[in-house]
């Protein structure tokens, strides 16, 4: 019998923290939801905007700096864990102003 993996099977990253570290940069930190994460998908977009950006990060990482952002702008930040079998966790989110 084949078992289908759903998002409920895959722990999401935890303790997502977003900090302003300058007029146009944000520091993103998180904790691993599980030791077997292969990659993370980090997405950010100005709040209420449509200019969504995305990057894929190694599964060993727990931080990332976003540079070249618009100053004095709120950003919505989303993080999803991607597992070796390509299943994804639910995304976690936060927001912060530059």
Does residue 76 fall inside a structural domain? Answer: yes
> 3-state DSSP call for residue 8?
helix
Structurally, the chain folds into a number of domains equal to 1
Does residue 44 fall inside a structural domain? Answer: yes
Does residue 9 fall inside a structural domain? Answer: no
Q: Of residues 58 and 50, which shows the higher confidence score? A: 58
Mean pLDDT calculated for residue range 62-66: 97
Mean pLDDT calculated for residue range 57-74: 96
CATH number of the domain within which 72 lies: 2.60.40.10
On the CB side of 10, how many CA atoms lie within 13 Å of its CA? 24
How far apart CA 90 and CA 78 sit, in angstroms, is: 10
pTM for this entry = 0.88
Does residue 35 fall inside a structural domain? Answer: yes
Give me the pLDDT at residue 7, please.
54
Does residue 8 fall inside a structural domain? Answer: no
User: What's the domain range around 29?
Assistant: 15-97
């Amino acid at each position: 019998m084949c078992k289908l993996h759903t998002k409920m099977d895959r722990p999401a990253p935890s303790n997502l923290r977003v900090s302003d570290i300058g007029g146009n940069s944000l520091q993103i930190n998180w904790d691993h939801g599980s030791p077997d994460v292969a990659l993370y998908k980090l997405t950010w977009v100005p709040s209420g905007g449509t200019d969504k950006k995305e990057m894929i990060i190694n599964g060993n990482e727990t931080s990332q700096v976003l540079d070249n952002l618009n100053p004095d702008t709120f950003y919505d930040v989303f993080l999803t864990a991607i597992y070796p079998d390509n299943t994804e966790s639910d995304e976690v989110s936060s927001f912060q102003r530059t």
